[in-house]
Structure 1
Amino acid sequence: MTQRVGHLASISLDCPDTELLATFYSDLLGLTEAFATPDRGVIALSGAGTMLTMMRVADHVPPSWPHGPQHQQLHLDIAVQDLDSASASAVALGAIAADHQASPEQWRVMLDPAGHPFCLTAVRPD
Protein backbone atom coordinates (compact mmCIF):
# COMPACT_ATOMS: atom_id res chain seq x y z
CA MET A 1 0.00 0.00 0.00
CA THR A 2 1.26 3.44 -0.93
CA GLN A 3 1.37 6.16 1.71
CA ARG A 4 -0.92 9.06 0.89
CA VAL A 5 0.84 12.18 -0.29
CA GLY A 6 -2.02 14.56 0.45
CA HIS A 7 -5.78 15.12 0.59
CA LEU A 8 -8.10 16.26 -2.18
CA ALA A 9 -8.66 19.91 -1.30
CA SER A 10 -10.79 21.23 -4.14
CA ILE A 11 -12.47 20.50 -7.45
CA SER A 12 -12.09 23.50 -9.75
CA LEU A 13 -14.40 24.60 -12.54
CA ASP A 14 -13.28 26.97 -15.30
CA CYS A 15 -15.91 29.59 -16.08
CA PRO A 16 -16.27 33.10 -17.51
CA ASP A 17 -18.06 34.56 -14.41
CA THR A 18 -16.89 33.30 -11.01
CA GLU A 19 -19.46 35.36 -9.08
CA LEU A 20 -22.39 33.90 -11.03
CA LEU A 21 -21.18 30.31 -10.72
CA ALA A 22 -20.16 30.62 -7.06
CA THR A 23 -23.61 32.01 -6.20
CA PHE A 24 -25.29 29.20 -8.14
CA TYR A 25 -23.37 26.38 -6.41
CA SER A 26 -23.55 28.10 -3.03
CA ASP A 27 -27.34 28.20 -3.29
CA LEU A 28 -27.66 24.73 -4.89
CA LEU A 29 -25.47 22.94 -2.32
CA GLY A 30 -25.63 25.20 0.74
CA LEU A 31 -21.92 26.08 0.55
CA THR A 32 -20.17 29.14 1.92
CA GLU A 33 -17.28 31.15 0.56
CA ALA A 34 -13.98 29.95 2.03
CA PHE A 35 -11.50 31.90 -0.10
CA ALA A 36 -11.36 34.42 -2.92
CA THR A 37 -8.49 36.15 -4.67
CA PRO A 38 -8.55 39.96 -4.44
CA ASP A 39 -9.84 40.25 -8.03
CA ARG A 40 -12.44 37.47 -7.38
CA GLY A 41 -10.99 35.53 -10.32
CA VAL A 42 -10.88 32.49 -8.03
CA ILE A 43 -13.64 31.77 -5.50
CA ALA A 44 -13.58 28.62 -3.36
CA LEU A 45 -16.68 27.31 -1.58
CA SER A 46 -16.68 25.00 1.42
CA GLY A 47 -19.16 22.99 3.41
CA ALA A 48 -19.17 19.65 1.58
CA GLY A 49 -15.80 18.22 2.59
CA THR A 50 -13.83 18.95 -0.57
CA MET A 51 -14.05 22.58 -1.68
CA LEU A 52 -15.60 23.56 -5.00
CA THR A 53 -13.61 26.32 -6.68
CA MET A 54 -14.58 28.60 -9.56
CA MET A 55 -11.72 29.90 -11.72
CA ARG A 56 -12.20 32.72 -14.24
CA VAL A 57 -11.08 31.84 -17.76
CA ALA A 58 -11.54 34.56 -20.38
CA ASP A 59 -11.88 32.21 -23.34
CA HIS A 60 -13.97 29.54 -21.60
CA VAL A 61 -15.82 27.25 -24.01
CA PRO A 62 -18.73 25.41 -22.35
CA PRO A 63 -18.91 21.66 -22.91
CA SER A 64 -21.30 20.50 -25.63
CA TRP A 65 -22.42 17.26 -24.03
CA PRO A 66 -23.10 14.53 -25.11
CA HIS A 67 -21.69 15.32 -28.56
CA GLY A 68 -18.53 17.34 -29.23
CA PRO A 69 -16.67 19.23 -30.28
CA GLN A 70 -16.00 20.38 -26.68
CA HIS A 71 -16.62 17.30 -24.52
CA GLN A 72 -17.13 17.45 -20.78
CA GLN A 73 -13.96 16.88 -18.81
CA LEU A 74 -15.65 16.44 -15.43
CA HIS A 75 -19.11 16.61 -13.95
CA LEU A 76 -20.64 16.55 -10.50
CA ASP A 77 -23.20 14.00 -9.32
CA ILE A 78 -25.41 15.49 -6.62
CA ALA A 79 -27.50 13.09 -4.51
CA VAL A 80 -31.08 14.24 -3.95
CA GLN A 81 -34.19 12.80 -2.33
CA ASP A 82 -36.65 13.65 -5.11
CA LEU A 83 -35.54 14.18 -8.71
CA ASP A 84 -38.56 16.25 -9.77
CA SER A 85 -38.42 18.77 -6.93
CA ALA A 86 -34.60 18.96 -7.04
CA SER A 87 -34.70 19.60 -10.79
CA ALA A 88 -37.25 22.38 -10.33
CA SER A 89 -35.15 23.94 -7.57
CA ALA A 90 -31.99 23.80 -9.70
CA VAL A 91 -33.82 25.48 -12.59
CA ALA A 92 -35.08 28.20 -10.24
CA LEU A 93 -31.44 28.87 -9.30
CA GLY A 94 -30.32 29.21 -12.94
CA ALA A 95 -29.69 25.67 -14.21
CA ILE A 96 -31.28 24.31 -17.34
CA ALA A 97 -32.20 20.72 -18.11
CA ALA A 98 -29.94 19.19 -20.75
CA ASP A 99 -31.65 18.09 -23.95
CA HIS A 100 -30.13 14.60 -23.64
CA GLN A 101 -31.50 12.58 -20.70
CA ALA A 102 -30.14 9.02 -20.92
CA SER A 103 -31.78 7.67 -17.75
CA PRO A 104 -34.08 10.33 -16.27
CA GLU A 105 -35.55 7.99 -13.66
CA GLN A 106 -32.05 7.73 -12.07
CA TRP A 107 -30.21 10.88 -13.17
CA ARG A 108 -31.33 14.28 -14.36
CA VAL A 109 -28.66 15.91 -16.44
CA MET A 110 -28.58 19.65 -15.87
CA LEU A 111 -26.34 22.48 -17.10
CA ASP A 112 -25.05 25.10 -14.67
CA PRO A 113 -25.04 28.81 -15.65
CA ALA A 114 -21.61 28.39 -17.32
CA GLY A 115 -22.77 25.34 -19.30
CA HIS A 116 -21.09 22.59 -17.22
CA PRO A 117 -23.16 19.42 -17.06
CA PHE A 118 -24.00 18.06 -13.62
CA CYS A 119 -26.36 15.29 -12.57
CA LEU A 120 -29.00 15.21 -9.90
CA THR A 121 -29.20 11.57 -8.88
CA ALA A 122 -31.34 9.22 -6.86
CA VAL A 123 -28.63 6.54 -7.12
CA ARG A 124 -27.00 5.81 -3.76
CA PRO A 125 -24.29 3.37 -2.72
CA ASP A 126 -25.43 0.37 -0.69
Structure 2
Amino acid sequence: MTSTTQVSPVSPAIGSLRAVALDAPDIERLATFYQQLAGWYRVPGDDGDWISLTTDDGWRIGLQQAPGHEPPQWPDPDRPQQAHLDLRVPDIDAAAARAQELGATLLRRNERWHTLADPAGHPFDLALNPDDPRITLAGVMLDCPDAKGLSRFYARLLGKAVTFEADGIAMIGEDGSQPVMFQQIEPYTAPGWPDPAHPQQIHLDVMVEDVDIAEKAALEAGATSLGASGPDWRVYADPAGKPFCLVWEN
Protein backbone atom coordinates (compact mmCIF):
# COMPACT_ATOMS: atom_id res chain seq x y z
CA MET A 1 0.00 0.00 0.00
CA THR A 2 2.20 2.80 -1.30
CA SER A 3 -0.22 5.19 -3.03
CA THR A 4 0.16 8.80 -1.91
CA THR A 5 -2.80 10.30 -3.74
CA GLN A 6 -4.45 12.62 -1.25
CA VAL A 7 -8.00 11.47 -0.49
CA SER A 8 -8.79 14.05 2.19
CA PRO A 9 -7.40 17.48 3.05
CA VAL A 10 -4.91 17.86 5.88
CA SER A 11 -6.48 19.19 9.07
CA PRO A 12 -4.53 21.04 11.76
CA ALA A 13 -2.93 18.40 13.95
CA ILE A 14 -4.14 17.83 17.49
CA GLY A 15 -0.80 16.18 18.18
CA SER A 16 2.05 14.27 16.56
CA LEU A 17 2.86 10.59 16.69
CA ARG A 18 5.33 10.11 19.52
CA ALA A 19 5.54 6.32 19.75
CA VAL A 20 3.96 3.01 18.89
CA ALA A 21 3.89 1.07 22.17
CA LEU A 22 3.77 -2.72 22.54
CA ASP A 23 2.72 -4.45 25.76
CA ALA A 24 4.95 -7.33 26.87
CA PRO A 25 5.63 -9.41 29.99
CA ASP A 26 9.42 -9.15 29.42
CA ILE A 27 10.41 -5.89 27.78
CA GLU A 28 14.13 -6.60 28.04
CA ARG A 29 13.71 -9.71 25.92
CA LEU A 30 11.52 -7.92 23.41
CA ALA A 31 13.95 -5.00 23.14
CA THR A 32 16.82 -7.38 22.46
CA PHE A 33 14.75 -9.16 19.81
CA TYR A 34 14.04 -6.01 17.79
CA GLN A 35 17.55 -4.64 18.31
CA GLN A 36 19.08 -7.82 16.89
CA LEU A 37 16.51 -8.36 14.14
CA ALA A 38 16.00 -4.84 12.82
CA GLY A 39 18.95 -2.89 14.21
CA TRP A 40 16.80 -0.58 16.32
CA TYR A 41 18.52 1.53 18.96
CA ARG A 42 17.73 1.65 22.66
CA VAL A 43 17.08 5.13 24.08
CA PRO A 44 18.88 5.65 27.42
CA GLY A 45 17.14 6.95 30.52
CA ASP A 46 13.90 4.97 30.58
CA ASP A 47 12.57 3.52 33.84
CA GLY A 48 12.07 -0.17 34.60
CA ASP A 49 8.53 -0.36 33.18
CA TRP A 50 9.29 1.19 29.78
CA ILE A 51 11.94 0.86 27.08
CA SER A 52 12.13 3.13 24.04
CA LEU A 53 13.67 2.02 20.75
CA THR A 54 14.33 4.21 17.73
CA THR A 55 14.76 3.24 14.11
CA ASP A 56 16.99 4.59 11.36
CA ASP A 57 13.87 5.84 9.58
CA GLY A 58 12.62 7.96 12.47
CA TRP A 59 10.11 5.77 14.33
CA ARG A 60 10.00 5.45 18.10
CA ILE A 61 8.80 2.11 19.46
CA GLY A 62 7.84 1.88 23.13
CA LEU A 63 7.86 -1.39 25.05
CA GLN A 64 5.58 -1.29 28.09
CA GLN A 65 5.84 -3.78 30.94
CA ALA A 66 2.54 -5.67 31.21
CA PRO A 67 2.57 -8.33 33.95
CA GLY A 68 0.14 -11.12 33.15
CA HIS A 69 0.06 -10.09 29.50
CA GLU A 70 -2.24 -12.29 27.40
CA PRO A 71 -0.71 -12.53 23.91
CA PRO A 72 -2.74 -12.46 20.71
CA GLN A 73 -3.58 -15.76 19.04
CA TRP A 74 -3.81 -14.54 15.44
CA PRO A 75 -6.07 -15.14 13.50
CA ASP A 76 -8.42 -16.12 16.37
CA PRO A 77 -10.97 -13.24 16.65
CA ASP A 78 -11.40 -14.02 20.36
CA ARG A 79 -7.69 -13.26 20.96
CA PRO A 80 -7.12 -10.46 18.43
CA GLN A 81 -3.82 -8.83 17.56
CA GLN A 82 -5.48 -5.35 17.51
CA ALA A 83 -2.58 -3.98 15.44
CA HIS A 84 0.69 -5.06 13.89
CA LEU A 85 3.94 -3.68 12.48
CA ASP A 86 4.96 -4.04 8.82
CA LEU A 87 8.71 -4.43 8.26
CA ARG A 88 10.32 -4.19 4.83
CA VAL A 89 13.26 -6.52 4.25
CA PRO A 90 15.55 -7.29 1.30
CA ASP A 91 15.10 -11.07 1.68
CA ILE A 92 11.98 -12.34 3.47
CA ASP A 93 13.19 -15.93 3.81
CA ALA A 94 16.48 -14.87 5.39
CA ALA A 95 14.75 -12.34 7.64
CA ALA A 96 12.15 -14.89 8.73
CA ALA A 97 14.86 -17.43 9.52
CA ARG A 98 16.79 -14.84 11.55
CA ALA A 99 13.62 -13.80 13.41
CA GLN A 100 12.94 -17.42 14.36
CA GLU A 101 16.51 -17.83 15.59
CA LEU A 102 15.86 -14.85 17.88
CA GLY A 103 12.61 -16.26 19.29
CA ALA A 104 9.86 -15.42 16.79
CA THR A 105 7.24 -17.93 15.59
CA LEU A 106 6.28 -18.29 11.94
CA LEU A 107 2.50 -17.90 11.45
CA ARG A 108 2.07 -17.60 7.66
CA ARG A 109 4.25 -17.57 4.56
CA ASN A 110 3.76 -16.48 0.96
CA GLU A 111 5.88 -15.04 -1.86
CA ARG A 112 5.53 -11.36 -0.95
CA TRP A 113 5.32 -11.36 2.85
CA HIS A 114 5.64 -13.61 5.88
CA THR A 115 3.76 -13.18 9.15
CA LEU A 116 5.48 -14.02 12.40
CA ALA A 117 4.84 -13.47 16.11
CA ASP A 118 7.53 -11.78 18.17
CA PRO A 119 8.56 -13.22 21.57
CA ALA A 120 5.65 -11.39 23.26
CA GLY A 121 3.22 -12.91 20.75
CA HIS A 122 2.59 -9.78 18.67
CA PRO A 123 2.19 -10.60 14.97
CA PHE A 124 4.32 -8.63 12.53
CA ASP A 125 4.77 -8.83 8.77
CA LEU A 126 7.97 -9.07 6.77
CA ALA A 127 7.38 -7.59 3.31
CA LEU A 128 9.79 -8.00 0.41
CA ASN A 129 11.72 -4.86 -0.58
CA PRO A 130 14.73 -6.11 -2.55
CA ASP A 131 15.92 -2.63 -3.61
CA ASP A 132 16.91 -1.61 -0.05
CA PRO A 133 19.50 -3.58 1.94
CA ARG A 134 18.12 -2.26 5.23
CA ILE A 135 15.26 -3.51 7.37
CA THR A 136 12.82 -0.60 7.62
CA LEU A 137 9.50 -0.05 9.37
CA ALA A 138 6.87 0.60 6.69
CA GLY A 139 4.07 1.42 9.11
CA VAL A 140 1.70 0.34 11.84
CA MET A 141 -1.59 -1.29 10.84
CA LEU A 142 -4.63 -0.95 13.12
CA ASP A 143 -7.44 -3.51 12.98
CA CYS A 144 -10.89 -1.93 13.09
CA PRO A 145 -14.54 -2.37 12.10
CA ASP A 146 -14.51 0.66 9.76
CA ALA A 147 -11.22 1.49 8.04
CA LYS A 148 -12.49 4.63 6.35
CA GLY A 149 -14.05 6.02 9.52
CA LEU A 150 -11.04 5.32 11.74
CA SER A 151 -8.63 6.76 9.17
CA ARG A 152 -10.59 10.01 9.28
CA PHE A 153 -10.29 10.14 13.08
CA TYR A 154 -6.53 9.63 13.06
CA ALA A 155 -6.10 12.03 10.15
CA ARG A 156 -7.62 14.70 12.39
CA LEU A 157 -5.69 13.57 15.48
CA LEU A 158 -2.27 13.47 13.79
CA GLY A 159 -2.76 16.08 11.06
CA LYS A 160 -2.03 13.58 8.27
CA ALA A 161 -4.00 13.36 5.04
CA VAL A 162 -5.81 10.18 4.06
CA THR A 163 -3.58 9.10 1.17
CA PHE A 164 -5.05 5.70 0.31
CA GLU A 165 -8.50 4.14 0.44
CA ALA A 166 -9.76 0.84 -0.93
CA ASP A 167 -12.35 -1.69 0.11
CA GLY A 168 -11.72 -2.31 3.80
CA ILE A 169 -8.32 -0.60 3.96
CA ALA A 170 -6.95 2.94 4.31
CA MET A 171 -3.75 4.83 5.05
CA ILE A 172 -2.92 8.26 6.44
CA GLY A 173 0.39 9.98 5.79
CA GLU A 174 3.01 9.45 3.13
CA ASP A 175 4.86 6.23 2.47
CA GLY A 176 8.27 6.63 4.12
CA SER A 177 7.01 9.25 6.58
CA GLN A 178 5.49 7.18 9.39
CA PRO A 179 2.12 6.32 7.84
CA VAL A 180 -0.64 4.72 9.91
CA MET A 181 -2.73 2.09 8.15
CA PHE A 182 -6.15 0.60 8.87
CA GLN A 183 -7.62 -2.76 7.94
CA GLN A 184 -11.26 -3.73 8.38
CA ILE A 185 -11.79 -6.91 10.40
CA GLU A 186 -14.98 -8.96 10.76
CA PRO A 187 -15.77 -9.85 13.41
CA TYR A 188 -13.93 -7.10 15.24
CA THR A 189 -13.38 -7.37 19.00
CA ALA A 190 -12.38 -4.14 20.71
CA PRO A 191 -9.97 -4.01 23.63
CA GLY A 192 -11.45 -3.64 27.09
CA TRP A 193 -8.56 -1.77 28.71
CA PRO A 194 -7.61 -2.12 31.53
CA ASP A 195 -9.32 -5.53 31.61
CA PRO A 196 -6.47 -8.07 31.15
CA ALA A 197 -8.90 -10.48 29.51
CA HIS A 198 -9.31 -8.02 26.61
CA PRO A 199 -5.85 -6.43 26.29
CA GLN A 200 -4.97 -3.43 24.18
CA GLN A 201 -1.79 -5.18 22.91
CA ILE A 202 -0.53 -2.04 21.13
CA HIS A 203 -1.31 1.65 21.58
CA LEU A 204 -0.19 4.97 20.13
CA ASP A 205 1.30 7.84 22.12
CA VAL A 206 0.43 11.25 20.71
CA MET A 207 2.57 14.24 21.73
CA VAL A 208 0.69 17.48 22.45
CA GLU A 209 1.62 20.95 23.67
CA ASP A 210 -1.45 21.84 25.76
CA VAL A 211 -3.22 18.70 26.95
CA ASP A 212 -6.46 20.46 27.89
CA ILE A 213 -6.84 21.99 24.43
CA ALA A 214 -5.81 18.70 22.81
CA GLU A 215 -8.24 16.71 24.93
CA LYS A 216 -11.16 18.93 23.93
CA ALA A 217 -10.29 18.55 20.24
CA ALA A 218 -9.79 14.78 20.51
CA LEU A 219 -13.14 14.31 22.23
CA GLU A 220 -14.85 16.44 19.58
CA ALA A 221 -13.22 14.25 16.91
CA GLY A 222 -14.71 11.09 18.43
CA ALA A 223 -12.39 9.96 21.22
CA THR A 224 -13.59 8.85 24.66
CA SER A 225 -11.78 9.55 27.92
CA LEU A 226 -10.89 6.37 29.82
CA GLY A 227 -10.32 8.31 33.04
CA ALA A 228 -6.70 7.30 33.59
CA SER A 229 -3.84 9.77 33.80
CA GLY A 230 -0.35 10.38 35.11
CA PRO A 231 2.03 13.31 35.44
CA ASP A 232 2.55 13.52 31.67
CA TRP A 233 -0.10 11.29 30.07
CA ARG A 234 -3.86 10.77 29.76
CA VAL A 235 -5.61 7.73 28.29
CA TYR A 236 -8.44 7.78 25.74
CA ALA A 237 -10.13 5.34 23.39
CA ASP A 238 -10.49 5.96 19.68
CA PRO A 239 -13.83 5.31 17.91
CA ALA A 240 -12.88 1.62 17.51
CA GLY A 241 -12.27 1.31 21.26
CA LYS A 242 -8.47 1.21 21.01
CA PRO A 243 -6.65 3.05 23.80
CA PHE A 244 -4.22 5.82 22.94
CA CYS A 245 -2.41 8.35 25.11
CA LEU A 246 -1.99 12.09 24.89
CA VAL A 247 1.48 12.79 26.27
CA TRP A 248 3.40 15.98 26.89
CA GLU A 249 6.71 17.25 28.19
CA ASN A 250 6.80 18.17 31.87
TM-score (norm 2): 0.45
The equivalent of 1:32 in structure 2 is 41
User: Within 1, Cα distance between the matches of 2:30 and 2:45?
Assistant: 13
Contact 1:63 1:70 in 2 (8 A): yes
Unaligned runs of 5+ in 1: none
The equivalent of 1:7 in structure 2 is 16
The one-letter code of the counterpart of 2:50 is: V
Corresponding pairs, count: 121
Question: For the aligned residues, what is the CA RMSD?
Answer: 1.8
Q: 2:114 aligns with which of 83, 95, 108?
A: 108
How far apart are residue 36 of structure 1 and its match?
4.8
Identity %: 38
Contact 1:15 1:21 in 2 (8 A): yes
TM-score (norm 1): 0.86
Range with greater deviation from structure 2 (1-10 or 44-53): 1-10
Q: In structure 2, the residue corresponding to 1:88 is in which secondary structure?
A: helix
User: Within 1, Cα distance between the matches of 2:36 and 2:61?
Assistant: 13
Which is higher, the Rg of structure 1 or of structure 2?
Answer: 2
Indicate whether 1:75 and 2:81 are aligned.
no
Unaligned runs of 5+ in 2: 1-9, 130-137, 139-174, 176-250
Range with greater deviation from structure 2 (25-34 or 11-20): 25-34
Q: In structure 2, the residue corresponding to 1:8 is in which secondary structure?
A: strand
Range with greater deviation from structure 2 (9-18 or 45-54): 45-54
Q: In structure 2, the residue corresponding to 1:97 is in which secondary structure?
A: strand
Q: 1:96 aligns with which of 88, 97, 105?
A: 105
- Structure 1 pair 4–74 and aligned structure 2 pair: CA distance change class (3 A): same
Q: In structure 2, the residue corresponding to 1:62 is in which secondary structure?
A: coil
